[in-house]
Amino acid sequence: MIEKTLSIIKPDGVRKNIIGEVIKRFEANGLKVAAAKMKHLSLKEAQGFYAVHSARPFFSSLCEFMTSGPVLLMVLKGEGAIAKNRELMGATDPAKAAPGTIRKDFADSIESNIAHGSDAPETAAFEIGYFFSGLEIFE
């Protein structure tokens, strides 16, 4: 099934100058960039995006990290895009990520883990709508 998913290259990925490397992996694996914009999230924007994690002990640190510099927001589109994106990123904790994945290759910690990807169709719909209007997504 052709799906859309939200991808974020987090502030650490932007700082490490690997935007192109990450997008190259998506494109080489059948995902298309259907929308993209760079943004420096406000604290409120980060808190709203990660609201589902608001009770977790890492929430405030996560929001601080996500507002520490600009991010690249993208909508990726393709066959099984949600699972494909997560497979390419690898496990949340880079120490547990499979060899050859984005997080294994580039991430420093479970928090500074380079990229975010929606984890299910419902979250993808929420997350894409949180950052993009329909007019900004190219079909």
Contact predicate 116/7, CB 8 Å = yes
Among 18, 35, 116, 127, binds ligand CMP (CB under 6 A): 116
Specify the DSSP class assigned to residue 74.
Answer: E
Contact predicate 89/115, CB 8 Å = yes
The residue from 4, 116, 117, 131 that is catalytic is 116
User: Which of the ranges 35-43, 97-105, 107-115, 123-131 carries the binding residues for ligand CMP, by CB under 6 A?
Assistant: 107-115
Contacts of 65 (CB under 8 A, 6+ apart): 10, 11, 12, 111, 112
130 binds ligand CMP (CB under 6 A): no
111 binds ligand CMP (CB under 6 A): yes
Question: Residue numbers of the site for ligand CMP (CB under 6 A)?
Answer: 53, 58, 62, 92, 110-111, 113, 116
